Structure 1
Amino acid sequence: METEEEFNIVTTVNAEFIVLANENVRFQKILNDNISTIDGQIPFFFLKLKYPNKKFEKLSGSDLIFYICEKASKSGQKVFLLGGLEISNETARQKLKKLYPGLLIEGYSPPFSPYPFSKELNEKILDILKRFSPDILFVAFGAPKQEYWIEDHKLFLKKIGVRLAIGVGGTFELVAGIEKRAPKFIQTLGLESLWRLYQNPKRFKRFVRNFKFFKYIFS
């Protein structure tokens, strides 16, 4: 991974993102204006079916973080984990350091707050980021909060040296092992969201809402 002058935003689009994008013009514009990968077997299958002449890449945030951290450890680039639960943020950092010796990584888990954040909280986040000056920033606030925050602060992030900012939802919990990734055969069948619901029943409303994906993908 070579350092580049431009600043890029990556979104990992799953069924929830597609529902949100169809119901929220701002979120849709963020997805359209930036780099997107497909996170989820079912969206990947139906997008290929609907747009046979377009190229899609299936790459989840929980896969992407390992790939990028491995490359960063070899190139000397600095990585920052922003968001997630405090325990998962810390545990994920320790796990990534162990997997990739020499990785320059820090993180911060701010207290949960609706977006936009208070001036005091936002200034604290920006100050921590400025002092570390990461090359790569993973933001785990959940969609669409994480994408709004990145978009609203892209000039600041570019100024302090961030070259790549990625919204990754619940990835830190998966990296930390607080939530378990679905077995490969469940991922292949497109049932990973059901697996995560089994682990965390609080996801039920989101799980049901995401069925709107089928309405929008064929509209």
Structure 2
Amino acid sequence: MEMPTLIDMPIDAVTMDGAVHRISDSIANGRGGTVLTPNIEILRQYRSTPELRSVFERTDLRVVDGMPLVVALRLQRTPVPEQITGTDLLWALSGAAAQVGFSVLLAGGRDGDAERAAERLRAEFSGLRARTHACFVRPDTEAEELARLRATIIAAEPDVVFIGLPFRVQVTLMDELRAALPRTWFVGVGSTFELVNGDRSRPPKWLQRLCLEWAWRLTQQPEMWRRYFVDGMPTAALLLASALRQRWRRA
């Protein structure tokens, strides 16, 4: 079966159940891997940064987080079964981990964010083995923060690591740690801990289907206007044009 692409970015056409089964089966067989959840911002960085693109293409599982990407795939007649957000994947994998006894580590976020999220997950999934490590990167402290985080993850040897860091940092960190922890799965989840903790909320489903989640987020984080209107709009326009071109070719 042909792997779908979005402006040359590869995408895995899997369901949530399929993704969780693939990861769980791999862990049970002693194999690790990496997961990314692309949206418009990640697509922009994929296209603009060769180093990130190279690492991204070595990723084992790429599931579509952003609804505009889901719509674009439908438009170009290479649909994926469903949208899989980082938040939904965090909940689903934690449930599977609790059921079979895998350990998880929540890494990233401001002080307290990861621990609060772990508490929510433990309350939901009895027996979940979850550790945490806060890591909020800033230019002046990034190197030392990441060094401490690497040491914590390597010492813990978890089955799954949820990395709540900016895309550039999480991709590089995952790629670096794979050699040290070949049996561990690394899942990039961005700012998901805030959603698990209720610090931010997801929009209603009808807004998501209309690809207006960005507008909802701006009501909660108006400082992100540049990401959407300056950085994101050109990529969104290019995505639409590419999807229409692919649709015409397939027709």
TM-score (norm 2): 0.79
Q: Residue deviations 1:59-110, cap 9 Å, x none?
A: 0101110000000000100010110122321211110010001000011112
The residue that corresponds to 1:151 in the other structure is 175
The residue that corresponds to 1:207 in the other structure is 228
Is the 8 Å Cα contact of residues 67 and 208 (structure 2) preserved in structure 1?
yes
Is the 8 Å Cα contact of residues 136 and 165 (structure 2) preserved in structure 1?
no
The residue that corresponds to 2:213 in the other structure is 192
Distance 2:106 2:215 in 1: 26
Q: Residue deviations 1:96-144, cap 9 Å, x none?
A: 01000100001111242339942x4344222322332210001011112
1:92 to 117, 128, 149: 117
1:10 to 35, 39, 48: 35
Distance 2:101 2:140 in 1: 33
SS of the residue corresponding to residue 187 of structure 2 reads strand
How far is the alpha carbon of 1:156 from its aligned partner?
Answer: 1.5
Distance 1:13 1:133 in 2: 26
The residue that corresponds to 1:181 in the other structure is 202
Tell me if 1:172 matches 2:172: no
State the aligned residue count: 214
In 2 relative to 1, CA 48–31 (structure 1 residues): closer, same or farther, beyond 3 Å?
Answer: farther
In 2 relative to 1, CA 59–173 (structure 1 residues): closer, same or farther, beyond 3 Å?
Answer: same
SS of the residue corresponding to residue 190 of structure 1 reads coil
How far is the alpha carbon of 1:55 from its aligned partner?
Answer: 4.3
Distance 1:85 1:194 in 2: 24
SS of the residue corresponding to residue 166 of structure 2 reads coil
How far is the alpha carbon of 1:11 from its aligned partner?
Answer: 0.5
TM-score (norm 1): 0.89
SS of the residue corresponding to residue 86 of structure 1 reads coil
Distance 2:218 2:136 in 1: 24
Q: Which amino acid aligns with 1:63?
A: D
How far is the alpha carbon of 1:6 from its aligned partner?
Answer: 2.2
Tell me if 1:81 matches 2:100: no
Tell me if 1:137 matches 2:161: yes
Distance 2:142 2:123 in 1: 33
How far is the alpha carbon of 1:184 from its aligned partner?
Answer: 1.6
Tell me if 1:64 matches 2:89: yes
How far is the alpha carbon of 1:53 from its aligned partner?
Answer: 4.0
Over the residues paired in the alignment, what is the CA RMSD in angstroms? 2.0
**Which runs of no fewer than 5 residues in structure 1 stay unpaired?**
none
The residue that corresponds to 1:38 in the other structure is 64
Distance 1:102 1:28 in 2: 38
Distance 1:82 1:165 in 2: 10
1:47 to 73, 94, 116: 73
2:132 to 98, 107, 128: 107
Q: Which amino acid aligns with 1:195?
A: W
How far is the alpha carbon of 1:196 from its aligned partner?
Answer: 1.1
SS of the residue corresponding to residue 166 of structure 1 reads strand
Distance 1:16 1:75 in 2: 34
Q: Residue deviations 1:4-41, cap 9 Å, x none?
A: 32221111000111111111112222332221011121
Distance 2:232 2:38 in 1: 12
1:128 to 143, 152, 166: 152
